[in-house]
Amino acid sequence: MSRRLESGTRFAGYLIVSVLGEGGGGVVYRAERPGGGPCALKVIGGPAGEDPGFATRFEREARYVSQLRHPSIIELYESGRAEDGTAFQAMQYVEGADLGARIVRGVLDAATAVFVLDQIAGALDAAHAAGVIHRDVKPGNILLEDDGWPRSRAYLTDFGFAKNPTRDSVALTQQGWFVGTTGYTAPEEILAQERDYRVDVYSLACVMYECFVGRPPFLRASAVEMLKAHVTDPRPVVTELRPDLPPALDEVIARGMAIAAVQRYSSCSALIEAARAALGTPGEVAAGTSTEVALGASAPAAEAVRPSDQPTLVRPVRPPPPSSRRP
């Protein structure tokens, strides 16, 4: 199905209310469940509906999410196909916005950022304990309830690129390629090396950096340059843009975003605990206040581009060959 569903129509028993979002994989609607109550209804459409790999990922996502139980993982109500064969998922509806939209309005104060990301870290650790790696942690996949801001409930969503290394033996992309969001992708993904749950630790550290400074870690003139920066460049320094924050936080980000996975924190929650320790006791960090930070302050705005929030199919970046010159 490629057409957009109109408000008031029914699809697989669900009453369509409005469009929440649309991308290359289809459309997400706000809908009413057959038994009553709101839900987010994700419906495959467009070219993705003809792509066997996308359909397999869609069905695998449903299988994973249905097995995960955590208060900060979006609940899956139903997954199936409509009478015309169109695949869909009905999920928990969150009244609010994603973290990316929140950051656009102003960077988060330190206490609020840690409060939000602590919930997501718990969700990721729960997924890892079940053998599932998310592989696409980014602000756009973190939903926030507006009620009670700045102490919002946070939810992790979109397990479309998740993987269980012990069970998933079938490659869903072309050999030698990977799918990722350039601003938050771990070096081992980019280099097509062996990977584990620490790719999510890396991505969460990237999100933490963005919460504090209002921009992703590496802004470059092209997606390829961004990917190379993840692999080769010095780790970003938070205090260059936020001198009001403690230097110890730079060390936390550097370890969370370590190029070698073995040098990162042992879990997402360990990353959050290190950030909390670097920031001091809650009483020393004011909550509920946003700080205005110029986007791209450490790079010329005309030369830097923000990474697309959409996952991109790219070839792995190959590191330069070692120099043959003797020291």
**Phi then psi for 42, rounded to 5 degrees?**
-95, 125
> What's the pLDDT score for residue 164?
60
This prediction has a pTM of: 0.81
> What's the pLDDT score for residue 324?
37
CA–CA separation, 235 vs 155, rounded Å?
A: 27
List pLDDT tens digits, range 81-115.
898 888 899 999 999 889 999 999 888 888 899 99
CATH number at residue 59: 3.30.200.20
Q: Are residues 171 and 249 in the same domain?
A: yes
119 has a pLDDT exceeding 70 = yes
Q: Are residues 224 and 240 in the same domain?
A: yes
Q: Are residues 201 and 63 in the same domain?
A: no
Q: Are residues 54 and 116 in the same domain?
A: no
Q: Are residues 107 and 85 in the same domain?
A: no
- Residue 4 pLDDT level (bands cut at 50, 70, 90): confident
Q: Are residues 85 and 134 in the same domain?
A: no
Please say whether the dihedral angle defined by the alpha carbons of residues 241, 242, 247 and 251, taken in this order, is positive or negative: negative
Q: Are residues 27 and 157 in the same domain?
A: no
Spatial CB neighbours of 121, under 8 Å, sequence gap ≥ 6: 204, 267, 268, 269, 271, 272
Number of domains comprising the chain: 2
CA–CA separation, 260 vs 25, rounded Å?
A: 32
Q: Are residues 59 and 104 in the same domain?
A: no
Instruction: Tally Cβ neighbours within 10 Å of residue 200.
Output: 29
Greater model confidence, 186 or 65: 186
CA–CA separation, 234 vs 14, rounded Å?
A: 50
Does residue 2 sit within a domain? no
Among residues 60, 91, 122, the one where a domain terminates is: 91
Structural domain boundaries enclosing 37: 10-91
> What's the pLDDT score for residue 52?
59
Q: Are residues 174 and 235 in the same domain?
A: yes
Closest CA to 290 of 111, 152, 97, 94: 111
What is the set of active-site residues?
Answer: 136
Average pLDDT (51-60) is: 67
- Residues composing the chain: 327
What is the largest distance, in Å, between two alpha-carbon atoms of the chain? 73
